[in-house]
Amino acid sequence: MTNRILLAALTGAAMFSASVLAAQPNWNNVQLSYAKLDIDDTDISANGLDLSGSVLVGSNYILQGNFLSVSDEIFGVDVDLDWTSIGMGYRHAITGNTDVFGIVSYESVELSASSRFDSESEDDNGYGLAIGVRSMLNDNIELKGVISRIDIEDAETFIEGSVAYYFAPQFAVGAGYKVGDDMDLFTISARYSF
């Protein structure tokens, strides 16, 4: 009887350990999103794509990249915004299923406008700082929250929240919302983890 109880306890512990390991956030992924960007106090409500990815180097260092490309037409003028972010950072597991992280990034933005008669473009670059948390609620649902400060000509603070649902170990769909001092970004995404 004692052997059965010990065997059951060991089996349960092994299953719990495997579940905890399976529920860690996976930093090795690539994600493609539909993006909708609204800029405050303007008529700009641009749509487009957002491509992002990250990779874990060693056990704690993060490399990540992001490219957002959106466009809109306002009174016959085509407005395009391309935003590139390349960053590196550090993550620390605070539990078996939750990581806190910090990222330092290079930021580059290009805004262009064109009509039948003329076209103009302007670009600028700067840096970003972000801190956040990623947590797997279970094997299928991940939550992420980030506070960032982006300094491109003027500094702007963003608060971001997202959820991802893993319908298979490597594939997830999700949605996110990022609100800043002067703009809001909504995304619907598909993710591949490797």
Distance between alpha carbon 139 and the CA centroid of its chain, in Å?
19
**Into how many domains does the chain fold?**
1
**Looking at residue 80, which CATH number applies to its domain?**
2.40.160.20
Which amino acid, one-letter code, is at 138? Answer: N
Q: Residues of 11-48 as b/e, b for ≥16 C-beta within 10 angstroms?
A: eeeeeeeeeeeebbbbbebebebebbbbbeeeebebeb
Give the pLDDT band (50/70/90) at residue 107.
Answer: very high
Is there a contact between 164 and 191 (Cβ–Cβ < 8 Å)? yes
**24: its two tokens:** 């860690």
As a whole number, the mean pLDDT across the chain is: 89
Could you tell me which residue, 115 or 99, shows the higher pLDDT?
A: 99
Q: Parallel, antiparallel, or unpaired for β 183-193 and 77-95? A: unpaired
Angle (CA) 31-160-86 rounded to 5° is: 50
CB 109 within 8 A of CB 81: yes
Residues 6+ apart with CB under 8 A from 155: 149
pLDDT tens by residue, 61-79 = 999 999 999 999 988 889 9
| CA 158 – CA 129 distance, rounded (Å) | 10
Where in the sequence is the domain holding 126, given as residue range(s)? 2-193
**Whether the predicted pLDDT of 1 surpasses 90:** no
Residue-wise pLDDT tens digits, 16-53: 444 444 489 999 999 999 999 998 888 789 999 999 99
Distance between terminal CA atoms of the chain? Answer: 44
The two tokens of residue 7 are 């065997």
Residue 182 above 80 pLDDT?
A: yes
Give pTM, 2 decimals: 0.83
Higher model confidence: residue 164 or residue 182? 164
Phi, psi values for residue 11, rounded to 5°: -65, -45
